[in-house]
């Protein structure tokens, strides 16, 4: 650990493959960072300096805390809609009138909406059913719902639960979840924590490069941290990307999701400028600059 420094506290989702580069970066910076289980709420209660979450949650929590900042897209995931073949679901148009299980107001809910729109349908043309994450595969198998829209590895668990009887709708061209590293304006204004965050992001960029170039070397570390067997991680790996960047389409995605969330919450959507302010590329630029020097 750097002398006299308190470790940077990074809240990381301990259940998702998207977290792979963070676990590797944490190992590379042992002692200088503390990885703790959690998401954006850890920023709100002050127990973390940065936190991972999908872009949808950054939008929602920034209604409460306008100083939340997205500083890096660590990973991207292509979602899947899973249905038993008996439901008749084979393509997006088949979702008309179906009960789609998901977690409301999350990226998985938005993927269901995007899939419906691809078939010329609206959200009102199906029944969105909130299902607890831990009950999703069983609810699908019991026929409590007709289809399931959720992230990995839950989607894969649902497929396996249907024992060869699953139909899958996958359209990564419609939507990829952006699994981002978020912080607050207060952290960015603090010279000590800002410097530590730049160091972490610089290491995270290198960790993501290693994850991309040598994925099998990252799988055992990921397996230990998310309690998922290496063969299962290997099977799902194709669903993920690890850019460790700020993609040019991030703001358009935030704008589109904001319109959807605002309608669901019966409020006025925020302006494009207000949403652009949620993205801060200064840490990334500093990290890239220091890496090049």
CATH of the domain at 147: 3.40.190.10
DSSP 268: P
134 and 275 in a single domain? The answer is no
The pLDDT score that the predictor gives to residue 237 is: 98
Residue 292 phi/psi, 5-degree rounding, is: -80, -20
Residue pLDDT, tens place only, 73-106: 999 999 999 999 999 999 999 999 999 999 999 9
31 and 130 in a single domain? The answer is no
The pLDDT score that the predictor gives to residue 31 is: 82
Q: For the chain, how many structural domains are there in total? A: 2
Determine, yes or no, domain membership for 211.
yes
The pLDDT score that the predictor gives to residue 291 is: 65
The pLDDT score that the predictor gives to residue 2 is: 44
The pLDDT score that the predictor gives to residue 293 is: 55
Domain C-terminal end among 135, 170, 205: 170
The pLDDT score that the predictor gives to residue 1 is: 43
Three-class secondary structure of residue 151 per DSSP? coil
Exposure string over 112-123, b if 16+ CB within 10 A, otherwise e: bbbbbebeebeb
Residue pLDDT, tens place only, 31-44: 889 999 999 999 99
Please identify every stretch of the chain with a pLDDT value under 70, giving residue numbers as ranges. Answer: 1-5, 290-293
224 and 260 in a single domain? The answer is yes
Determine, yes or no, domain membership for 3.
no
58 and 150 in a single domain? The answer is no
48 and 160 in a single domain? The answer is no
Domain C-terminal end among 119, 148, 170: 170
140 and 186 in a single domain? The answer is no
HSE of 275, CA atoms in CB hemisphere, 13 A? 20
Three-class secondary structure of residue 162 per DSSP? coil
185 and 284 in a single domain? The answer is yes
235 and 132 in a single domain? The answer is no
Residue pLDDT, tens place only, 227-242: 999 999 999 999 999 9
Determine, yes or no, domain membership for 85.
yes
60 and 46 in a single domain? The answer is yes
HSE of 206, CA atoms in CB hemisphere, 13 A? 15
Determine, yes or no, domain membership for 150.
yes
Asked whether the beta carbons of 131 and 99 are under 8 A apart, the reply is: no
Determine, yes or no, domain membership for 45.
yes
Determine, yes or no, domain membership for 2.
no
192 and 270 in a single domain? The answer is yes
Q: Which residue in 25, 11, 19, 10 sits closest to 179, CA to CA?
A: 19
The pLDDT score that the predictor gives to residue 6 is: 73
Domain that holds residue 145: 80-170
Domain C-terminal end among 170, 203, 227: 170
| 115 Rama sector, left if φ>0, alpha if ψ -120 to 50, beta otherwise | alpha
71 and 84 in a single domain? The answer is no
Model pTM score: 0.94
Determine, yes or no, domain membership for 1.
no
286 and 184 in a single domain? The answer is yes
């Amino acid at each position: 650990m750097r002398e006299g420094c308190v470790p940077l506290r990074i809240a990381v989702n301990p259940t998702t493959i998207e977290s792979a580069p963070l676990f590797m970066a944490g190992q590379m910076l042992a002692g200088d960072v503390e990885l703790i289980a959690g998401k954006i709420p850890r920023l709100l209660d002050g127990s973390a300096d940065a936190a991972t979450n999908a872009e949808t949650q950054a939008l929602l929590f920034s209604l409460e805390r306008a100083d939340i900042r997205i500083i890096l897209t660590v990973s991207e995931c292509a979602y899947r809609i899973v249905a038993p073949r008996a439901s008749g679901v084979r393509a997006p148009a088949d979702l008309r009138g179906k009960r789609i299980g998901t977690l409301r107001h999350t990226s998985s809910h938005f993927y269901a909406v995007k899939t419906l729109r691809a078939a010329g349908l609206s959200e009102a043309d199906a029944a969105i059913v909130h299902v607890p994450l831990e009950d999703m595969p069983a609810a699908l198998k019991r026929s409590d719902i007709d289809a399931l829209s959720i992230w990995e590895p839950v989607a894969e668990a649902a497929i396996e639960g249907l024992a060869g009887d699953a139909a899958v709708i996958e359209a990564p061209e419609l939507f990829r979840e952006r699994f981002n590293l978020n912080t607050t304006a207060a952290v960015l204004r603090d010279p000590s924590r800002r410097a530590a965050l730049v160091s972490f992001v610089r290491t995270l960029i290198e960790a993501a490069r290693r994850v991309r170039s040598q994925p099998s070397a990252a799988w055992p570390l990921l397996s230990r941290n998310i309690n998922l067997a290496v063969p299962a991680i290997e099977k799902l790996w194709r669903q993920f990307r690890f850019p460790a960047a700020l993609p040019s389409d991030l703001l358009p995605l935030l704008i589109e999701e904001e319109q959807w969330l605002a309608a669901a919450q019966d409020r006025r959507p925020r302006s494009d400028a207000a949403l652009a302010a949620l993205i801060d590329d200064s840490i990334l630029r500093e990290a890239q600059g220091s890496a090049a020097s």
